[in-house]
Amino acid sequence: MSVFSGMSRPMKAAGVALIGVAIIAAVIGGITALGGGDGSNEAGPSGTSTQPGTSGGTSAPPSTSSSPAPPSTSASPSSPVPPSPGSPTAGQPTSSAPGGPGRPGGDQQASSKWVTVRVFNNSTVKGLADRAAEDFRAGGWNVNEVSNYSQGIIPTTTAFYRPGTDEEAAAKQLAQEFGIKAEPRFEGIQSASPGVIVIVTKEYQAGQKGS
């Protein structure tokens, strides 16, 4: 039985036409498939020619700027911090307290005791200068000579000093501690060796201390 049995004539004509179109399309498809192998392999996925290292489109021109970027200032070494005012600088000696060399640290009173003290007896009491020297040493004073003074009579036990020197502060401090007088050197001892000269007289009592 034919596939067109029972159909009207116009419908049969339309079916024949559709079959013909299908056959023609199949023939054209086969020809196209056979001829597809003859195309160029240089075309990319989009059908355009590509070069190695490109994305297929027009590449942007290289940058013409050749000036190097300025160096960063953040890499420069930081400036050294100046020492604080009053702080000792490395390699430089620190200043010592006012006074002479070899003087121990501490307040002004304690530091005056480095000054040399020499004790002389101006009385008939034997060993009086020795006892006075022991008292002074016990108080921390630097007594380095004990002897007699027979060039005149001193009215009272006195610590003599050269004005304007460290001897002045030392003599006044010594006089205050032991209840004696402190005066500038008189003419007879002006040229004596440096240091406080204490001339003790008979009223000096061993172990005495000033108020």
**pTM (two decimals):** 0.50
pLDDT in tens, the chain (211 residues): 455 555 556 666 666 677 777 788 777 776 666 665 454 444 444 444 444 444 444 444 445 544 555 555 444 445 555 545 444 444 443 333 344 444 444 455 567 899 999 999 999 999 999 999 999 999 999 999 999 999 999 999 999 999 999 999 999 999 999 999 999 999 999 999 999 999 999 999 877 776 5
17, 56, 58, 60 from 63: Cα distances, Å: 64, 20, 15, 9
Q: In one letter, which amino acid is 11? A: M
Architecture of the domain delimited by 108-200: 2-Layer Sandwich (3.30)
Residue boundaries of the structural domains of the chain? 108-200
